[in-house]
């Protein structure tokens, strides 16, 4: 299956390179364009719908590859792929409609829940067993917990990617890094079905990035960001399903960048007493721009952060193979410390909200005063 996966990767990349310019023309033709405003960083009208090129390249390559690997797929694998394709198609459709007609946030949210429900109830895909960190026993979840948890996970991750889609190539690149991380983990675990999906999707993303990296010629739009978020949500369920080797924390590390940006956005708006869903210019990429980094530098910095967390995820999951719980503990501590310090330095919560930095400053002052008194 590995050879087929490599061929499918190349095919998907080539299809994305061919289809993206055609989607660009189509977007202009139907009026699916992004007009600059005070909250956006681009200064000219840009075509959206780029997600259609990613979706089409992925779908065509996967459907061509499936007949060659069907004999290696279990019933569970087949159900997962069906759920992946049907749910993903629903998400792309609602995203494409939003790219053209600017749908309300409530309507998009309901559509995402519907897609998640199709996955959970239509194909019995849910987080029902997990391997908790620091324990060597598996914990079974009751359906009243597993079903809403799975739906919440799918909808949450789907929207997390959408929220970071603010700079050329940012959402696509961060998604690609997360998918590459899952690819490495799936190869280490021997899950070739997940590896196949990751390689095909990665090829489509790389092909699209040729037109989306700064200066972008086309935006992926909600059709792309929501689709990639859905794909990440589904693929990262691998972290829950492979209970023998991966703990509950692993999928959270894989997508730490979009999830943390979303979490800090919620905290920031709560602290500032603003509506949770109110748009603002306090996201990670906005803050980096205010610190003086260029468009391209900001994107590359976030790529670096995403890669760092991807490496942490691989280290943590590899350590779980040998029940090295102390590695999980260290990874969690390092991740939480760096996230909080980074958020305060960059200003993700607010320009003056810096509890940890203030605490460290007070400790340094106390230490300095004690040394002078001696």
Helix axes 75-101, 192-212, angle to 10 degrees: 20
Q: Cis before residue 155, ω within 30 degrees of 0?
A: no
Alpha-helical regions (H) of 31-124 = 50-69, 75-101, 105-117, 123
195 contact partners, CB below 8 Å, separation of at least 6: 1, 2, 5, 183, 186, 187
Helix axes 50-69, 75-101, angle to 10 degrees: 160
Identify the three-state secondary structure at position 246: coil
DSSP secondary structure letter of residue 133: T
In tens digits, what is the pLDDT along the chain, a chain of 374 residues?
A: 889 999 999 999 999 999 999 999 999 999 999 877 655 555 678 999 999 999 999 999 999 999 999 998 888 889 999 999 999 999 999 999 999 998 998 999 999 999 999 999 999 888 775 555 555 555 666 777 888 988 998 998 898 888 788 788 999 999 999 999 999 988 888 888 999 999 999 999 999 999 999 889 999 999 999 999 999 999 887 655 543 334 556 777 888 888 888 787 777 778 777 776 666 676 777 788 878 888 889 899 999 989 988 888 888 777 655 555 666 677 778 877 887 887 777 777 766 667 777 777 787 877 777 777 66
Dihedral pair phi/psi, residue 57, rounded to 5°: -60, -40
Q: Cis before residue 215, ω within 30 degrees of 0?
A: yes
**SS3 of the chain: helix, strand, coil, percent, to 5:** 75, 5, 25
CA separation for the pair 270, 148 (Å, rounded): 24
Dihedral pair phi/psi, residue 136, rounded to 5°: -100, 15
**Contact of 255 with 176, CB cutoff 8 Å:** no
Kindly report the pTM of this predicted structure: 0.85
Give the Cβ contact number of residue 242 at 10 Å.
Answer: 20
CA separation for the pair 183, 179 (Å, rounded): 6
Query: Is 222 part of any known ligand binding site?
Result: yes
Nearest residue to 324 via CA among 43, 190, 133: 133
**Contact of 214 with 169, CB cutoff 8 Å:** yes
**Where in the chain does DSSP place strands (E)?**
33-34, 46-47, 129-131, 138-140
Residue 242, both tokens: 């492979």
* Residues facing 130 on adjacent strands: 139
Domain extents in the chain: 2-373
Query: Is 77 part of any known ligand binding site?
Result: no
Which pLDDT score, from 0 to 100, does residue 132 have?
54
Work out whether strand 46-47 and strand 33-34 pair parallel, antiparallel, or are unpaired: antiparallel
**Contact of 289 with 367, CB cutoff 8 Å:** no
Alpha-helical regions (H) of 237-283 = 238-241, 250-254, 256-271
Query: What is the Cα 246 distance to its own chain's centre?
Result: 18
Nearest residue to 314 via CA among 300, 301, 327, 299: 327
Which pLDDT score, from 0 to 100, does residue 243 have?
37
Dihedral pair phi/psi, residue 247, rounded to 5°: -90, 175
CA separation for the pair 156, 199 (Å, rounded): 24
* Residues facing 46 on adjacent strands: 34
275 contact partners, CB below 8 Å, separation of at least 6: 269
């Amino acid at each position: 299956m590995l050879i087929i996966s490599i061929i499918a990767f190349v095919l998907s990349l080539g299809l994305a390179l061919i289809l993206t310019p055609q989607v660009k023309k189509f977007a202009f033709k139907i009026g699916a364009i992004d007009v600059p405003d005070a909250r956006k960083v681009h200064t000219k009208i840009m075509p959206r719908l780029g997600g259609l090129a990613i979706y089409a390249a992925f779908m065509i390559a996967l459907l061509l590859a499936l007949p060659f690997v069907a004999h290696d797929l279990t019933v569970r694998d087949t159900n997962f792929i069906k759920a992946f394709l049907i749910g993903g198609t629903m998400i792309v459709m609602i995203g494409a409609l939003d790219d053209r007609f600017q749908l309300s946030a409530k309507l998009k949210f309901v559509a995402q829940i519907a897609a998640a429900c199709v996955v959970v109830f239509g194909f019995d895909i849910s987080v029902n067993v997990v391997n908790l960190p620091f324990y060597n026993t598996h914990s079974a979840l009751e359906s009243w917990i597993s079903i809403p948890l799975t739906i919440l996970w799918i909808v949450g991750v789907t929207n997390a990617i959408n929220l970071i889609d603010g700079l050329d190539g940012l959402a696509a690149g961060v998604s690609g890094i997360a998918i590459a991380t899952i690819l490495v983990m799936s190869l280490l675990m021997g899950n070739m079905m997940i590896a196949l999906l990751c390689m095909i999707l990665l090829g489509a993303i790389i092909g699209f990035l040729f037109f989306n990296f700064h200066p972008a010629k086309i935006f992926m739009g909600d059709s792309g960001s929501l689709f990639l978020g859905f794909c990440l949500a589904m693929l990262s369920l691998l972290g829950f399903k492979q209970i023998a080797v991966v703990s509950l924390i692993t999928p959270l590390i894989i997508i730490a960048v979009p999830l943390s940006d979303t979490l800090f956005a919620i905290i920031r708006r709560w602290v500032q007493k603003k509506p949770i869903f109110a748009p603002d210019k306090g996201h990670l990429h906005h803050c980096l721009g205010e610190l003086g980094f260029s468009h391209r530098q900001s994107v590359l910095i976030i790529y670096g952060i995403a890669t760092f967390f991807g490496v942490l995820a691989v280290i943590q999951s590899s350590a779980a193979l040998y029940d090295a719980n102390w590695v999980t503990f260290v990874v969690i501590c390092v991740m939480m410390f760096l996230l909080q310090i980074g958020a305060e330095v960059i200003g993700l919560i607010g320009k003056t909200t810096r509890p940890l930095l203030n605490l460290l400053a007070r400790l340094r002052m106390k230490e300095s005063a004690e040394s002078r008194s001696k």
